[in-house]
Amino acid sequence: MMTMRNLLLLAVALALLVIVPPFLGLGWQNMLVNVLIASLFALAFNLLIGQAGLLSFGHAAYFGVGAFAALHLMRAIEGGLPFPTPLVPLAGAAAGLLIGLIAGYFATMRSGVYFALVTLAIAELFHSLAPQLEGVFGGESGISSMRMPWNGIVFGSMLEVYYLTLAWVLVCGLALWAYTRTPFGRLTLALRDNEQRVRFLGYSAHTAKVIIFTVSAMLTAVAGSLQAISIETANYSLFASNVSAQVVLQTFVGGSTVFFGPVIGATAFTLFSFLVSDLTRSWVFYQGLIFVLVMLYVPTGIGGVIQHHIHNRRQLDWRNMAGHYVLAFVGALLLTAGVVFLTETVAVLFGEDYAMVRHNAEGGLPPFELFGASWNPTGLLTWLLPIVLLIGGGALLIRARRRISTIWDRKGPSNATATEPLLAGGAK
Amino acid sequence: MKRLAMIAATSAAALTASPLHAEPLKIGIIESLSGAQTSTGRLYANAVKYGVDRINEAGGFNGEPVVVTEYDNAGGAPDAADKFRNAVADGVDIIFQGASSAIAGQLTEDVRKHNLRNPGDEVIFINLGGEAMELTGEKCQFYHFRYTTTAPMRVNALVGAMKESGDLGTKVYSINQNYSWGQDMQAAAAAAAADGGYTVVDEVLHDVNKIQDFAPFVARISSAAPDTVFTGNWSNDLLLLMKAAGDAGLDVTFATAFLDQPGNIANAGKTAIGHYIANNYDNAATDGKFAEDYKTATGHYPIFVEGHSAFALGALQQALGTVDFGGGDIDVTKIALALENTTYETPLGPVSVRKEDHQTIRPVVVSKVVENPKYPADETNMGFETVKVIAGEDAIYPVQDSCKMERPAE
Closest CA in chain B for residue A154: B117
Strand order across the B124-127 sheet:
B67-72, B26-31, B94-97, B124-127, B144-146
Number of H helices, E strands in chain A: 17, 4
User: What is the rounded average pLDDT of the residues B337-358?
Assistant: 94
Least confident of A42-56, A401-415, B228-242: A401-415
A237–B78 CB contact, under 8 Å: yes
To the nearest whole angstrom, how far is the Cα of B31 from the nearest Cα of chain A? Answer: 11
Give the C-alpha separation, A231 to B405, whole Å: 23
Question: Which pLDDT belongs to residue B410?
Answer: 66
Question: Which pLDDT belongs to residue A359?
Answer: 72
B5–A23 CB contact, under 8 Å: yes
To the nearest whole angstrom, how far is the Cα of B88 from the nearest Cα of chain A? Answer: 8
Of A19, A233, A281, the CB nearest to B34: A281
B299–A352 CB contact, under 8 Å: yes
Going along chain B from its start, the domains and CATH numbers come out as 22-149+287-361 (3.40.50.2300), 151-279+363-395 (3.40.50.2300)
Query: At A385, is the pLDDT very low, low, confident or very high (cuts 50, 70, 90)?
Result: confident
Give the C-alpha separation, B205 to B177, whole Å: 5
Give yes or no for residue B171 having a pLDDT over 70: yes
User: What is the rounded average pLDDT of the residues B42-64?
Assistant: 92
B102–A232 CB contact, under 8 Å: no
A15 φ, ψ (degrees, to nearest 5):
-60, -45
Of A24, A144, A237, the CB nearest to B76: A237
Beta partners for residue B125, in sequence order = B95, B144
Of B78, B132, B178, the CB nearest to A238: B78
Give yes or no for residue A54 having a pLDDT over 60: yes
Question: Which pLDDT belongs to residue A32?
Answer: 93
Question: Which pLDDT belongs to residue B17?
Answer: 42
Query: At A2, is the pLDDT very low, low, confident or very high (cuts 50, 70, 90)?
Result: low
Closest CA in chain B for residue A240: B76
Within 4-63 of A, beta carbons closer than 8 Å to B belong to 15-16, 19-20, 23-28, 30, 34
CB pairs under 8 A between A and B: 113
Closest CA in chain B for residue A155: B117
Give the C-alpha separation, A270 to B253, whole Å: 49
User: What is the rounded average pLDDT of the residues A66-90?
Assistant: 90
Beta partners for residue B228, in sequence order = B172, B253
Give the C-alpha separation, A284 to A95, whole Å: 32
Question: Which pLDDT belongs to residue B18?
Answer: 43
Give yes or no for residue A357 having a pLDDT over 80: no
* A278 has a chain B CB within 8 A of its CB: yes
Question: Which pLDDT belongs to residue A131?
Answer: 80
Closest CA in chain B for residue A228: B78
C-beta of residue B285 within 8 angstroms of C-beta of residue B374: no
Share of chain B above pLDDT 90, in %: 62
pLDDT digits (tens, 9 = 90+) for A17-53: 888 888 888 889 999 999 999 999 999 999 888 888 8
To the nearest whole angstrom, how far is the Cα of B61 from the nearest Cα of chain A? Answer: 25
User: What is the rounded average pLDDT of the residues B117-145?
Assistant: 92
Give yes or no for residue B16 having a pLDDT over 70: no
Give yes or no for residue A317 having a pLDDT over 80: no
User: What is the rounded average pLDDT of the residues A46-64?
Assistant: 89
Question: Which pLDDT belongs to residue B228?
Answer: 93
Q: How many CB atoms lie within 10 A of CB A206?
A: 14
Chain Cα centroid distance, residue B322 = 25
Residue among B279, B261, B274 nearest B365 (CA): B279
To the nearest whole angstrom, how far is the Cα of A316 from the nearest Cα of chain B? Answer: 33
* A91 has a chain B CB within 8 A of its CB: no
B105–A141 CB contact, under 8 Å: yes
pLDDT digits (tens, 9 = 90+) for A163-183: 999 999 999 999 998 888 888
User: What is the rounded average pLDDT of the residues A77-101?
Assistant: 90
User: What is the rounded average pLDDT of the residues B390-404?
Assistant: 91
To the nearest whole angstrom, how far is the Cα of A356 from the nearest Cα of chain B? Answer: 5
CATH assignment of A20-281, among 2.50.20, 1.10.10, 1.10.3470, 1.20.950: 1.10.3470
* B12 has a chain A CB within 8 A of its CB: yes
Q: Which residues of B touch A30 (CB under 8 A)?
A: 82, 85-86, 89
Determine the residue among B3, B72, B209, B379 to mutate to test chain A binding: the one whose Cβ has the most chain A Cβ atoms within 10 Å.
B72
User: If you average pLDDT over each of A71-75, A407-411, B37-41, B207-211, which comes out highest?
Assistant: A71-75
Give the C-alpha separation, B137 to B135, whole Å: 5
The angle at the Cα of B73, spanning A160 to B232, to the nearest 5 degrees, equals 125
Share of chain A above pLDDT 90, in %: 27
Give yes or no for residue A121 having a pLDDT over 50: yes
Closest CA in chain A for residue B112: A146
Query: Checking DSSP bridges between strand B360-361 and strand B349-353, what pairing results, if any?
Result: antiparallel
Give yes or no for residue B384 having a pLDDT over 90: yes
* B137 has a chain A CB within 8 A of its CB: no
User: What is the rounded average pLDDT of the residues A88-115?
Assistant: 91
Question: Which pLDDT belongs to residue B353?
Answer: 95
Least confident of A374-378, B137-141, B287-291: A374-378
Within 135-154 of A, beta carbons closer than 8 Å to B belong to 139-142, 144, 146
Q: Which residues of B touch A232 (CB under 8 A)?
A: 81, 109-110, 113
Determine the residue among A17, A133, A161, A237 to mutate to test chain B binding: the one whose Cβ has the most chain B Cβ atoms within 10 Å.
A237
Question: Which pLDDT belongs to residue A221?
Answer: 95
Give yes or no for residue A71 having a pLDDT over 90: yes
B299–A283 CB contact, under 8 Å: no
Query: At B3, is the pLDDT very low, low, confident or very high (cuts 50, 70, 90)?
Result: very low
User: What is the rounded average pLDDT of the residues A333-360?
Assistant: 82
Give yes or no for residue A353 having a pLDDT over 80: no
To the nearest whole angstrom, how far is the Cα of A90 from the nearest Cα of chain B? Answer: 21
* A156 has a chain B CB within 8 A of its CB: yes
Q: What is the DSSP string of A9-50?
A: HHHHHHHHHHHSGGGS-HHHHHHHHHHHHHHHHHHHHHIIII
Query: At B7, is the pLDDT very low, low, confident or very high (cuts 50, 70, 90)?
Result: very low
Closest CA in chain B for residue A17: B5
Q: Is B296 exposed, middle or buried (0-12, 13-18, 19+ CB in 10 A)?
A: exposed
Give yes or no for residue B324 having a pLDDT over 80: yes
B180–A140 CB contact, under 8 Å: yes
Question: Which pLDDT belongs to residue B114?
Answer: 92
Question: Which pLDDT belongs to residue A163?
Answer: 93
Ordered by start, the domain boundaries in chain A are 20-281, 316-410
A142–B8 CB contact, under 8 Å: no
Share of chain B above pLDDT 70, in %: 95
Orientation angle between helical segments A26-46 and A205-231, nearest 10 degrees: 170
